[in-house]
A and B are shown apart, each in its own frame.
Chain A
Amino acid sequence: MSQLSVDHLLGIKYLKPEDVSLIFETADHFKEVINRPIKRVPSLRDITIANLFFENSTRTKLSFELAEKRLSADVVNFSASQSSVNKGETLIDTVNNILSMKVDMVVMRHPNPGAGVFLSKHINASIINAGDGAHEHPTQALLDSYSIRERLGEVEGKNVVIVGDILHSRVALSNIFALKLQGANVKVCGPKTLIPKYITSLGVTVETDLRKALEWCDVANMLRVQNERMDISYFPSTREYTQQFGVNKALLDSLDKEIVIMHPGPINRGVEITSDVADSKQAIILNQVENGVAIRMAVIYLLASKIK
């Protein structure tokens, strides 16, 4: 297969296993490209991409922008905080105004789950979801799986535990879809208050004892404690969270194998992982960031090639 089965990247749940393989193979080529002395290729010189960020982001926005520029696309940026959204404009109006300026592709982050799906039904442009509320963050899940594949050879059959705030995390949800799609075994681990009641219906198991989860896994993906999304207290204190669900060097050294540590960033050092773990060889956190650009180049390239 040389073409994606979808016209938009709205979530991992709309992808087929072959789509993921195609994205990874294409990303391999782009990873070689971004390690050249000159990192730019001219493929997308006649494509214009709008980055619409209705919610704050630093690394995802930077990563998308770099990916777009390395493909030679024209890029326009939009942040909700500096726009007419504050004046009461609707999402469709905002986007249609931008599309009138002849934009071919939209990369959007929005606080509302399903914003990308909604938009894809009403506008005529290719859409990439860069995070919609607590729903999905597909490019993050793709780069996470890609990083596992790079470190361990393949994703299929690997045991992956996602630790932390599963309830508010779009990274967790997209990762679960992506890992299951590729045949990995997935556990979630965290305080019971932060694990959704029906999570097992997605084919994952729940473990509340971090040590047991770590002993089982090949890879631990440590999520950030998202204080900004917590309207009520889900655990008594940050200190207590760290004691039960934080990973430190002593805990890792006491395991009988070396597991891979991942983190989508930004890290709360000393909360979900300690500094010595974050900076250790077991952690592939910065590889994830590098792979993020290659994965986003691949997704943009493959979607752009379907624009007629």
Chain B
Amino acid sequence: MSQKVLLSSKEINIILHRLACQLIENHLDFKNTVLIGIQPRGIYLAERLSKILIEEYKIENVQLGHLDITFYRDDFRRGEKTLEANKTNIDFIVEDKKVVFIDDVLYTGRSIRAALTAIQSFGRPLEIELLTLIDRRFSRHLPIQPDYRGRQVDAINEEKVKVMWVENDGEDTVYLINK
């Protein structure tokens, strides 16, 4: 198994600021916008972005929620392991809101398909956008594309992209792992 660094801590920081600015460009004061981090790995990215929006760009009304998609996945009983759920935490109404899904890696698109179904349990959003740090563009199983992307990566299926965060993994780095 070999691994190489795709993005360093410094590069991640620059990209996060760019993504935050792109979000502001489209959503201005975030009055009618909510950010939804997709469990389990999208929540760190979502929290980082919301922190940058609040602290550095002084946006006041950033609403952030966590959405777990386990019960909406299409591979129930298809693997060896039981799918383990995570916490969903959405304490606001998504009806008629602009929703931005935030996840670390966009790969087959199946997680986002599940998230699109899951979010309907909380109302009918006005529109839904997708932000991902890494876009593995040649691996899609479904017609789903990001509206905001940190970096496009052309990785083959045998490779794995792993995003590490300081708060969970002790470092900010994106690795390309060759299995």
Contact = CB atoms under 8 A, between A and B. Distances in A.
A3 B121 contact: no
A240 to B, nearest CB: 50
In the A-B complex, list the 6 residue pairs whose CB atoms are closest, starting with the nearest. Answer: A41-B71, A38-B121, A29-B85, A305-B82, A43-B71, A3-B82
B141 interface: no
Nearest to A40: B121
A29 B85 CA distance: 7
Contact of A42 (B71, B77, B88): B71
B72 interface: yes
B122 A308 contact: no
Interface string B6-35: 000000000000000000000000000000
A2 interface: yes
Contacts of A41: 71-72, 118, 121
Category for how many chain A residues contact B = 20 to 34
B88 A305 contact: no
Q: Is the interface of B mostly helix, strand, loop or mixed?
A: loop
Interface in B59-87: 68, 70-73, 76-77, 81-87
A4 B88 CA distance: 23
B76 A43 contact: yes
Given A2-B82, A305-B76, A38 B88 contact: no
Interface of A: 2-4, 26, 29, 32-33, 36-44, 46, 71, 301-302, 304-308
A257 B106 CA distance: 55
Contacts of A304: 76-77
Category for how many chain B residues contact A = 20 to 34
A190 B83 CA distance: 44
Given A26-B85, A29-B68, A33-B71, A42 B117 contact: yes
Given A3-B82, A38-B122, A43-B71, 9 more contacts: A29-B71, A29-B87, A32-B87, A36-B121, A40-B121, A43-B76, A71-B71, A305-B83, A306-B82
Nearest to A38: B121
Contact of A2 (B71, B76, B81): B81
A43 B76 CA distance: 7
B178 interface: no
A102 B122 CA distance: 34
A105 to B, nearest CB: 12
A46 B68 CA distance: 21
A42 B74 CA distance: 9
10 contacts: A2-B84, A26-B85, A29-B68, A29-B86, A33-B71, A36-B121, A37-B123, A43-B73, A305-B83, A307-B77
Contacts of A29: 68, 70-71, 85-88
A184 to B, nearest CB: 26
A42 B87 contact: no
B57 to A, nearest CB: 32
Contacts of A40: 121
A42 B120 CA distance: 12
A308 B77 contact: yes
B133 to A, nearest CB: 26
Contacts of A307: 77
A304 B83 CA distance: 11
B120 to A, nearest CB: 7
Contact of B72 (A2, A4, A42): A42
Interface in B82-137: 82-88, 117-118, 120-123
Contacts of A4: 82
B113 to A, nearest CB: 11
Contacts of B120: 38
A71 B72 CA distance: 10
Contacts of B117: 42
Nearest to B79: A305
